Amino acid sequence: MTLISRWPDSWVEVYRARKYTVIDPVMRMLNAAHRPFRWRDSILALKSDPHRSRMDRMMQEAGRHGLDDGYVFPIHGRNGFLGNMIIGGKPIDLSPTEISLFDTAAKRIFWRLLEIAGDATALEASARLDTQLTRREMEVMALLADGMTSHEIARSLDISNHTVDWYIHGLQEKLKAKNRQHVVAMAFRHGLVT
């Protein structure tokens, strides 16, 4: 759903004709980003990508169409990425306060549109978890979400560091998480911690 768009028609045609969707660094970065980012930061983050030269050409061509730089504001729900707001054009530096304001506005507008369409309730619902967690796993996850280290969790629960790491590894497998931080993010998405 596009709320408002003013891309130059010539750029839209070039973007489609050259199939830039496949290598667009901004779209690639959206798959991993949880915070607002600048277009040029996406190029820097993907510096070792095998399609880097094509990405550079795409960004140069976008610049020739008046799209030199921009900002992206990702929008997430409990079940992951839902959408985004993009502001692009001539380079401009937004202050951290302005970035925060745009980010908040993007999220509020997005969710309000979903409420009007009647889709917000379904997207706000927690993702279904296919596996059960033990009481101890829930305790470890809650303490991990509070920012505790393995050593601090071990001391709090009166168990060894090794046992804490074993529980965290089990949580990673059950939640299909890549690391400890991802365990916490998945726990929030599933509504297991607040």
For the stretch 107-129, pLDDT in tens is 889 888 888 888 777 766 655 66
Among 72, 64, 66, smallest CA distance to 24 is for 72
CATH class of 9-124: alpha beta
Quick one: how far is CA 39 from the chain centroid? 15
What's the one-letter identity of residue 166?
W
Which sequence spans correspond to the domains of the chain? 9-124, 135-189
CATH code for the part of the protein at 135-189 = 1.10.10.10
Burial 60-75 (b: 16+ CB within 10 A, else e): eebeebebbbbbbbbb
Cβ(71)–Cβ(84) below 8 Å: no
pLDDT of residue 54: 93
Local confidence band at 18 (pLDDT 50, 70, 90 cut-offs): very high
Q: What is the pLDDT of residue 124?
A: 64
The C-alpha atoms of residue 83 and residue 128 are separated, in whole angstroms, by: 21
pTM: 0.62
pLDDT of amino acid 65: 93
Q: What is the pLDDT of residues 146-191, one digit of tens each?
A: 889 999 999 999 999 999 999 999 999 988 889 999 988 888 877 7
CA 59 to chain CA centroid, Å, is: 22
Sheet holding 69-77, edge to edge: 37-38, 69-77, 80-89
**What pLDDT is attached to residue 157?**
92
What pLDDT is stored for residue 104 in this prediction? 92
* pLDDT beyond 60 at 82: yes
How many residues would you count in the chain?
A: 194
Mean pLDDT score of the chain, rounded to an integer? 86
- Tell me which of 42-51, 56-65, 112-121 is least confident: 112-121
CA angle 33, 119, 71 (to 5 degrees): 30
pLDDT of res. 21: 86
Both tokens assigned to 93: 């530096």
Give the span between the Cα atoms of 172 and 133, in whole angstroms: 12
At 137, the amino acid letter reads: E
Q: How far apart are CA 38 and CA 72, in angstroms?
A: 6
At residue 27, does pLDDT exceed 90? Answer: no
Give the other-Cβ count within 10 Å of 45's Cβ: 15
